[in-house]
Structure 1
Amino acid sequence: NIHTPDGSISQDEVIEHCHAYEQLIAAEGGIDIALLGIGRMGNIATNEPGSTLSSTSRIILIDQTSRDEMTNSFGTQEQVPPCSITMGIHTLLSAHKLFITAWGEEKSDIVEKIVEGPITDAVPASFIQTHNDAKFFIDLSAASKLTRIVHPWLVTNCEWNDKTIRAAVVWLCQLKQKPILKLTNKDYNENGLSELLARYGSAYNCNIKIFNDLQHTITGWPGGKPNADDTNRPERALPAVKRVIVFSPHPDDDVISMGGTLRRLVQQNHDVHVAYETSGNIAVGDEEVTRFMHFVNGYNQLFCNNEDQVIKKMYADIKAFLAQKKPSDMDTPEVRTIKGLIRRGEARTACTYNGVPLDHVHFLDLPFYESGKIEKLPMGEKDVEIVRALLQKVKPHQIYVAGDLADPHGTHRKCTDAVLAAIDLEKEAGAEWLNDCRIWMYRGAWAEWEIENIEMCVPMSPEELRGKRNCILKHSSQMESAPFLGNDERLFWQRAEDRNHATAELYHSLGLACYEAMEAFVRYIP
């Protein structure tokens, strides 16, 4: 009862084979249910942009974006075929029911185009809008750009709370191109926000409330300001010196995501620890290994009279392995270890630049990451216990974790799950240190927190932003040669700066202080 197009036939037979496949579908009474995922370009099955509404089963060329997406499934891009046999748009839409799935923030833009955008062959999945019985099954991250999530007051009766009110006022400011305190009753009435006028009595009252809420998120004291009234501050004043753990999924996420804040915490004399949760060895190019092995071999020749036989043998073995390595080959344990050492060295250099003592730099090397492949192992008890042991040792007053779950390979999510699971176990065990600990979530190079969710925003001067950039640049293996820069051609320091500039500009456009850049955080409550 399984009928799949035969991808092994010769190209001369494809047209006849596809015609026979369509006839088989018809002979079986058509498709009752089609269960489909969607690609980042809006492709369904492998119907790439340009596929027409009338298209049926056929051979199609796979574009570069789809090839990149398939890399996870195939293990390497070199094994992704250039072409695919696929059902057509017409074939799929003839199904009685359609079920479409999408997960994660990386699919949010295309979900918004498919569900709410114009119907066009540039986004083949947009034709689903014409189907009489199609349902999307998506998580909140994939739905995050839909109007019903971003601007629910435009499509339904809205349940007003602090977050939705802040989101509505910011949206109105952007629509009218006005700062918060210049919005009028007329602005609210003409744009469907009269409920807020009824709630607060006037635009003035609502404006002041939201302006103050946003003003109170801004702080130059991410660890709390000693001897100050902390009633309206994101962080408490006491203890004046806090023990802090910054959890970084990869050995550079700390400086990319919160480098300015980390540096500020150190300068304000807090006891800062940085915990790198994975080795990050998958993201090191082979040329970096070659460069470091040349150095080690040269060191052996110059300072050891070329007598260290272990180094000589390893150099020869690794040189031979890399010379014959195919794109689909997994690195040897020795090569992975060297790649991990490269990233450790870069992380230590960055921490030293930021003033973090080296005995406060922890490399957790969580087991789930060490599969040797892009596809990781499931996060398990061993990962959680490693994190928990560090928490028990440090007993932090502040924890910073990655909230940027758009990481294309899922490492951020698994690392954050491990930290939160460890915290839950400590809470169940009645750990006293948790009673005086706050958990802050940062985002990385892929996205920023929506302004309605931001609870702490740390400003940076031009000099501080330059310091953050210098720190990111310490991770030299992650510059142009990094294998996983993704679809965004900007380097990590450029992405981070653009994101931090944009946050500062948004605050300024709303009538708040004008800063060079800002890093944003959301508090997590276990």
Structure 2
Amino acid sequence: MKTNLSSQITLNRVSPRYYKPENAFEKSVLTRFEKIPTDIFESAEEGANQIAYEIAQTIKEKQKVGKFCVLALTGGNSPRNVYSELIRMHQQEKLSFRNVIVFNLYEYYPLAPDAVNSNFNALKEMFLDHVDIDKQNLFTPDGTIAKDTIFEYCKLYEQRIASFGGIDIALLGIGRVGNIAFNEPGSRLNSATRLILLDNASRNEAAKSFGSIESTPISSITMGVSTILAAKKIFLMAWGEDKAHMIKNCVEGAVTDNIPASYIQTHNDAHVVIDLSAAANLTRIQRPWLVTSCEWNDKLIRSAIVWLCAITKKPILKLTNKDYNENGLSELLALYGSAYNVNIKIFNDFQHTITGWPGGKPNADDTYRPERAKPFPKRVVVFSPHPDDDVISMGGTIRRLVEQKHEVHVAYQTSGNIAVGDEEVIRFLHFINGFNQLFIESADKVINDKYAEIREFLKDKKDGDMDTRDILTIKGLIRRGEARIACMYNNIPLNRCHFLDLPFYETGKIQKNPISEADVEIVRALLREVKPHQIFVAGDLADPHGTHRVCTDAVFAAIDLEKEEGAKWLKDCRIWMYRGAWAEWEIEHIEMAVPISPEELRAKRNSILKHQSQMESAPFMGNDERLFWQRSEERNRGTAALYDSLGLASYEAMEAFVEYIPL
């Protein structure tokens, strides 16, 4: 069973010559905007293996001369594959770590003496407990020390690093705000090990380990920028599209304390190691025509034209030969003969993505339409990771599909129970209690006892305490009720409203279990029952909480198994990916754009507002202060405005989709 198919989605077929140059001259041409040596690999595993190999070589070289190898390491997700490969080398190739000294890059503060969520514990679980490193050679900041001893303690930590001759290799990830370790924006180049207050984005990221944002420490003891830059060699790694923006700033931007990772531009032996997804915004990948001659394909041409329209502030059909020549796109003129020919081709390509019939228009020529005319009506399954992603991401399209007489099913993949505030539970308990008093003549002892038990628990609940199973069930019921109301509002019969409650989600914590066969089989059972002609699935793989990616992997794994078994229904099914409240598809990737009128946009807002528990009091709104309906509307209006600026039809808003072709 393939459970990581989402990681193999390639929106752009990037030519290997952009990230695997044939020689040093070609590399120098391609990377002229890059200020740090940057190696791009096709997968995170391949990049991690290269880092692990270089760390292993350094360990062996030190062993030969009888010296320690000093590593600065961290927990977190970024180094996981590096550690897995080092463990494999230890177990299968007898790589010894007896001469290795490890300094933990940071530790949360304050921590309880028995805290299990420390960064050092994560590092031990992922790596240190699986190799033959001497426990006396492990050093970490102490998150339990008294505040008045921190300054002296940090000074001693620096001295201990120096006593081993300094750090040989520092292995770094890059945070969402450009931090390295917990050197947050504003950290100075000469900063040493110290206590630092965590940025909100960093705390939200750390909350995955602590169960809730309330129980996540507000600060950290971190190695300073100068401590890290004193290392003889630095590897900065990043995997996935959610790191692409920050990697571009770090590698191609100016050195600035707003992006502390940019400081490694000043190091004489620093290397950035990334996968293609994290490299997506680098010039040689995103705008290769600015650094080399291109291998042009339709998507790259689209991307180039959209970029050219933006910098010239012209719609597509007004671009001239001069515009192309002055902005490094003369190759397109050579390919097509004139700006007019390129303009017409790309204008028509974009025009053909727009459709008011997301399920296909019956009795129409569908040669240039995103969807087939037949069969009509279609059976449609919309997979929604949480009980509101369907309306947030494609509420207008859902209404259009229903109005056009398609059989629409909505499958809510998780209960969404951890994203309900305690006050919502209390509100519903008050209702139940009042209902009993008004309509049930004799008091129900079981109900009254359960009511008292839950009220008592919530009254004494402290930050970090996990909800009881009963409370999680009530929170799940609240979200089910909201989803049903939204479906009814959109005229979807309740028997087509499916609650899958995938097991991976039901931990009661932010940190979820890995995807399992049980999750995939639940999805598969629904697909076999409905036999859809259309599937809509979440494609926003940069979702900061990770649930969307797991839910998407469950759907793709189920489809893959059905494909292996030759399922007949799959041969007549198209799969469309939408994006949620976090980002939108880049326009060059959009293959179906569904216009939304002002009335439809208002109806979409109303369906989002049916999810009352996800308004202001929702626990996981992220760093964006806007409510989900506000984010969604701004994104949909932004897509329509972009089409308008290119000279296409002007709409109030648009929802965008990309087709997924099963591998």
Same fold (TM over 0.5): yes
For the pair 1:376 / 2:526, whether they are aligned, the reply is no
- The letter for the 2-side match of 1:387 is V
- The letter for the 1-side match of 2:324 is Y
State the match for 1:342 in structure 2.
478
Choose which of 313, 319, 329 in structure 1 pairs with 2:449.
313
- The letter for the 2-side match of 1:492 is F
Choose which of 205, 210, 230 in structure 2 pairs with 1:74.
210
306-315 or 499-508, larger mean C-alpha shift: 306-315
Q: 1: CA distance between counterparts of 2:214 and 2:399? A: 41
Alignment of 1:51-450 (within 5 A): 51-450=187-586
145-154 or 418-427, larger mean C-alpha shift: 145-154
Q: 1: CA distance between counterparts of 2:437 and 2:277? A: 54
Q: 2: CA distance between counterparts of 1:404 and 1:40? A: 16
The Cα of 1:156 is off from its aligned counterpart by 3.3
Q: 2: CA distance between counterparts of 1:504 and 1:34? A: 45
Native 8 Å contact 2:200 2:623 kept in 1: no
For the pair 1:33 / 2:163, whether they are aligned, the reply is no
State the match for 2:55 in structure 1.
none
Q: 2: CA distance between counterparts of 1:431 and 1:89? A: 56
CA deviation digits over 1:477-510, x for unaligned, max 9?
1111111111001100000000000000000000
- The letter for the 2-side match of 1:289 is V
Question: Does the residue aligned with 1:138 lie in a helix, a strand or coil?
Answer: strand
In the superposition, relative to structure 1, how do residues 250 and 83 fare at CA in structure 2: closer, same or farther (>3 Å)?
Answer: closer
The Cα of 1:306 is off from its aligned counterpart by 4.9
Native 8 Å contact 2:317 2:343 kept in 1: yes
Q: 2: CA distance between counterparts of 1:105 and 1:139? A: 9
Question: Does the residue aligned with 1:77 lie in a helix, a strand or coil?
Answer: coil
Q: Figure out how many residues of one structure are paired with residues of the other and give that number.
A: 526
Q: 2: CA distance between counterparts of 1:337 and 1:151? A: 49
The Cα of 1:8 is off from its aligned counterpart by 3.0
Q: 1: CA distance between counterparts of 2:217 and 2:423? A: 26
The Cα of 1:307 is off from its aligned counterpart by 1.7
Q: 2: CA distance between counterparts of 1:432 and 1:524? A: 18
Q: 2: CA distance between counterparts of 1:81 and 1:459? A: 45
Choose which of 619, 629, 633 in structure 2 pairs with 1:493.
629
Question: Does the residue aligned with 1:341 lie in a helix, a strand or coil?
Answer: helix
In the superposition, relative to structure 1, how do residues 431 and 370 fare at CA in structure 2: closer, same or farther (>3 Å)?
Answer: same
The Cα of 1:105 is off from its aligned counterpart by 3.8
Q: 1: CA distance between counterparts of 2:631 and 2:501? A: 26
- The letter for the 2-side match of 1:220 is G
Native 8 Å contact 2:212 2:509 kept in 1: no
In the superposition, relative to structure 1, how do residues 443 and 392 fare at CA in structure 2: closer, same or farther (>3 Å)?
Answer: same
Question: Does the residue aligned with 2:512 lie in a helix, a strand or coil?
Answer: coil
User: What percent of counterpart residues are identical?
Assistant: 73
The Cα of 1:326 is off from its aligned counterpart by 0.9
Q: 2: CA distance between counterparts of 1:83 and 1:434? A: 51
Which ranges in structure 2 are unaligned for 5 or more consecutive residues? 1-136
138-147 or 165-174, larger mean C-alpha shift: 138-147
CA deviation digits over 1:279-304, x for unaligned, max 9?
01111110100001110111111100
State the match for 1:473 in structure 2.
609
Native 8 Å contact 2:209 2:510 kept in 1: no
Q: 2: CA distance between counterparts of 1:47 and 1:354? A: 47
CA deviation digits over 1:48-69, x for unaligned, max 9?
2222112222222333332222
- The letter for the 1-side match of 2:258 is A
Q: 2: CA distance between counterparts of 1:137 and 1:465? A: 43
For the pair 1:5 / 2:141, whether they are aligned, the reply is yes
Q: 2: CA distance between counterparts of 1:239 and 1:342? A: 37
Native 8 Å contact 2:537 2:575 kept in 1: yes
Q: 2: CA distance between counterparts of 1:155 and 1:314? A: 68
- The letter for the 2-side match of 1:122 is N
Q: 1: CA distance between counterparts of 2:564 and 2:656? A: 30
Which ranges in structure 1 are unaligned for 5 or more consecutive residues? none
CA deviation digits over 1:82-139, x for unaligned, max 9?
4322211111011122111234444333222212221011221110112222222334
Q: 2: CA distance between counterparts of 1:185 and 1:340? A: 59
Q: 2: CA distance between counterparts of 1:218 and 1:290? A: 46
108-117 or 471-480, larger mean C-alpha shift: 108-117
Q: 2: CA distance between counterparts of 1:59 and 1:316? A: 43
TM-score by length of 2: 0.78
Question: Does the residue aligned with 1:352 lie in a helix, a strand or coil?
Answer: helix
150-159 or 320-329, larger mean C-alpha shift: 150-159
